[in-house]
């Protein structure tokens, strides 16, 4: 076994690997960019080495610099985590050439599965079922459009070197093909250095079910059951679970054996995932699944597999990389209970899931869940990397119990300082179809408006926000006391004037709400018709209240002002990013919703659309410009009247 390893990654996966290495008595070396100098993974590791500036191309993608760091610190092996260089065969080759061990599959196995088109051809030859499509080398747009027509709409355009939903577009109308082909190619080039795409038939009732496989260097391979990853938005996974709803032993065996066949076809060693698209119409069946791709690395969602099997997949990775056999035979791998994982992101659901940046003023995770995170309270979510804050994983004896545990853990999680998707995840947990196991990849898109609607929070939360804005209540028993008359103060939240009257020690009248508060540790016990516990926070001009699984946030404004001052005549950058494409020009007449420019941020493209019908007055940026959050990108001519 190794005595020291270097982790060529950051964030929650680096922290996750450090946890297991520490339990195994293996020392760890972290690497970090300038943006991560004070990151959690750096603090947890035994040693840490700076590898460059914040952009990934100047730090986490510098394989030679990372290998040199391993050599200089005496590390014997390098764990790539996921993303970055984890599926780069040249990196694996260079590690071996340096006399180190790559904790993952061979470079030849990575190459075999690295390009989706070649991988599908290989799987067809191995007898693994494959989705109909075009996986060839001809990338002429007209030729690809013809192949799409032959396959039959709807089709899916996929960057052949892609992953994580990047470079992937569903198309129902041939008229949209050229624009989406160009966008998928750009994302593929930006994220993976490869603009080539493939075209596939889009399965109309699709489920995304993947099989965790594990091979060793002695020719053995096993599968550790399945994960259902059908809850997706923009082709990115949101909530994963294991086992898959409706799975039978016969279908599990068929999918598992196909996955092992795929792994053995390339001599696979280590942790890998074979992803299948499954026809969910009429229930799961043995002839109703098709190979999509193989991820030659550890998956983000691996904790749900660990929960139902009791296996530490990172420990298995280290053992197999050190030359040991797969620790368990196929018949000895357990399957106990049910598990869910929810990905908490810094993103604005109401703005089409735009990634968010900000400072984690307050961070508290719900009880009863495994938490995988790379951040702490006081950290920043920067624009340079994936905006994941944490993964919450729960386990229960059955699906209903596990889902209830996930809902509770999400409801108890408190994050202040930036926008997150926690409310959206909670809404998914309450979705009746999902609760019944009726899942497919189109569920979120079909019910998006309902899932975005967080409902009306308890009126008491708004009243508590007013107290927080006035730095009330006060733990001192006589705070707010006046001798002759109740003390009334005013605060403006989101442009609305709210009066707060002190009725006695920590007792207040806010509008129609009468509130009595008592300290309860860092929180407050509130009596407002009924009793509940609430967390009241104020940071600058922002207030946040967390109570009863709800979050109410508001901005302190001036009288008569609105928290949203953006009009319909401008387009501003919703986050820091790189302007990839500008298709608008001054004097151009446009319709509302027309694509005007493309902004790349956090590895994804975001289309900036016309806010209304009208004429463009000025374009303030050009392709290639790096812009800050809120930067003015474009102006429309004023509307008549």
DSSP run (H or E) holding 272? strand 270-279
| Contact call for residues 41 and 30 (beta carbons, < 8 A) | yes
- Cα 173 to chain center, whole Å? 29
| Contact call for residues 262 and 126 (beta carbons, < 8 A) | yes
Whole-number Å distance between alpha carbons of 61 and 275: 25
Burial of residue 35, with CB atoms counted within 10 A of its CB: 0-12 exposed, 13-18 middle, 19 or more buried: middle
| Contact call for residues 434 and 374 (beta carbons, < 8 A) | no
- Cα 161 to chain center, whole Å? 19
Query: Taking the CB of residue 377, how many other CB atoms lie within 10 A of it?
Result: 13
Cis peptide before 154 (omega within 30 of 0): yes
β-partners of residue 211 are 226, 274
Query: Taking the CB of residue 499, how many other CB atoms lie within 10 A of it?
Result: 12
Whole-number Å distance between alpha carbons of 244 and 209: 7
Burial of residue 80, with CB atoms counted within 10 A of its CB: 0-12 exposed, 13-18 middle, 19 or more buried: buried
Query: Taking the CB of residue 585, how many other CB atoms lie within 10 A of it?
Result: 10
Provide the b/e sequence for 392-422 (b: ≥16 CB within 10 Å): bbbbbeebeebbebbbbbbbbbbbbbbbbbb
Query: Taking the CB of residue 445, how many other CB atoms lie within 10 A of it?
Result: 12
CA angle (266, 16, 99) in 5-degree steps: 50
Whole-number Å distance between alpha carbons of 204 and 213: 27
User: Residues 6 or more apart from 416 whose CB is under 8 A from it?
Assistant: 360, 361, 362, 537, 539, 542, 544, 553
Whole-number Å distance between alpha carbons of 277 and 132: 11
Among 91, 187, 263, smallest CA distance to 598 is for 187
Cis peptide before 473 (omega within 30 of 0): yes
The structure tokens 């004896």 sit at 397
| Contact call for residues 495 and 555 (beta carbons, < 8 A) | no
Whole-number Å distance between alpha carbons of 450 and 235: 19
CA angle (13, 16, 18) in 5-degree steps: 110
Give yes or no: 297 in active site: yes
Among 254, 318, 334, smallest CA distance to 290 is for 254
DSSP run (H or E) holding 317? helix 313-321
Catalytic residue among 227, 297, 319, 538: 297
3-state SS of the chain: helix, strand, coil percent to 5? Answer: 30, 35, 40
Among 439, 413, 296, smallest CA distance to 360 is for 413
| Contact call for residues 290 and 129 (beta carbons, < 8 A) | yes
Whole-number Å distance between alpha carbons of 221 and 264: 7
Catalytic residues: 297
């Amino acid at each position: 076994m190794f005595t020291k390893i270097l982790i060529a990654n950051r964030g929650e996966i680096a922290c996750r690997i450090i946890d297991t290495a520490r339990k195994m008595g293996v020392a760890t070396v972290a690497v970090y960019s300038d943006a991560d100098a004070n990151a959690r993974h750096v603090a947890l590791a035994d040693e840490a080495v700076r590898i460059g500036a914040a952009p990934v191309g100047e730090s986490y993608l510098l394989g030679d610099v990372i290998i040199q760091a391993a050599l200089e610190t005496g590390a014997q092996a390098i764990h790539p985590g996921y993303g970055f260089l984890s599926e780069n065969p040249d990196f694996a080759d260079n590690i071996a050439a340096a006399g180190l061990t790559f904790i993952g599959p061979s470079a030849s196995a990575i190459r075999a599965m690295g390009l989706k088109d070649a991988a599908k051809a290989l799987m067809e030859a191995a007898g693994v079922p494959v989705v109909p499509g075009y996986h060839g080398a001809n990338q002429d747009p007209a030729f690809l459009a013809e192949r799409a027509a032959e396959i039959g709409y709807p089709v899916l355009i996929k960057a052949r070197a892609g992953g994580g939903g990047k470079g992937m577009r569903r198309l129902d109308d041939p008229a949209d093909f050229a624009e989406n082909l160009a966008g998928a190619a750009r994302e593929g080039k930006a994220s993976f250095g490869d603009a080539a795409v493939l075209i596939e038939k889009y399965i109309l009732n699709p489920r995304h079910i993947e099989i965790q496989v594990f091979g060793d260097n002695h020719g053995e391979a096993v599968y550790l059951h399945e994960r259902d990853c059908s809850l997706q938005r923009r082709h990115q996974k949101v909530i994963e679970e294991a086992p898959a709803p409706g799975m039978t032993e016969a279908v599990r065996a068929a999918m598992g054996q196909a996955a092992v066949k795929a792994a053995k076809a390339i001599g696979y060693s280590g942790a890998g995932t074979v992803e299948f698209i499954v026809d969910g119409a009429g229930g799961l069946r043995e002839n109703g699944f098709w190979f999509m791709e193989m991820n030659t690395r550890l998956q983000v969602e691996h904790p749900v597999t660990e929960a139902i099997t009791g296996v530490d997949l990172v420990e298995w990775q280290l053992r197999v990389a050190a030359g040991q056999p797969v620790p368990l035979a196929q018949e000895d791998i357990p399957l106990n209970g049910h598990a869910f994982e929810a990905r908490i992101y810094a993103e604005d659901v109401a703005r089409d899931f735009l990634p968010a940046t900000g400072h984690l003023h307050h961070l508290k995770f719900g009880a009863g869940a495994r938490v995988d995170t790379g951040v702490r309270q006081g950290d920043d979510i920067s624009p340079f990397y994936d905006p994941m804050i944490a993964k919450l994983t729960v386990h229960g004896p059955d699906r209903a119990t596990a889902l209830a545990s996930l809902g509770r853990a999400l409801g108890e999680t408190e994050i202040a300082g930036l926008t997150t998707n926690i409310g959206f995840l909670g809404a998914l947990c309450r979705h009746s179809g999902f609760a019944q196991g009726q899942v497919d990849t189109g569920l979120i898109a079909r019910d998006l408006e309902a899932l975005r609607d967080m409902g009306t929070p308890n009126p008491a939360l708004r009243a508590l926000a007013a107290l927080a804005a006035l730095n009330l209540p006060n733990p001192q028993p006589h705070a707010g006391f006046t001798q002759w008359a109740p003390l009334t103060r005013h605060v403006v939240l989101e442009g609305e004037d709210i009066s707060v009257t002190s009725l006695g020690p920590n007792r207040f009248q806010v509008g129609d709400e009468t509130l009595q508060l008592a300290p309860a540790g860092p929180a407050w016990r509130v009596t407002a018709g009924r009793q509940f516990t609430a967390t009241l926070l104020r940071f600058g001009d922002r207030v946040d209240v967390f109570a009863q699984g709800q979050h109410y946030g508001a901005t302190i404004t001036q009288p008569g002002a609105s928290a949203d001052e953006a009009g319909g005549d401008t387009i501003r950058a919703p986050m820091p990013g790189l302007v990839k494409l500008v298709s608008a020009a001054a004097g151009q007449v446009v319709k509302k919703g027309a694509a005007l420019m493309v902004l790349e941020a956090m590895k994804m493209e975001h289309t900036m659309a016309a806010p209304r019908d009208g004429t463009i007055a000025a374009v303030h940026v050009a392709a290639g410009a790096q812009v800050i959050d809120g930067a003015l990108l474009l102006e429309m001519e004023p509307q008549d009247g």
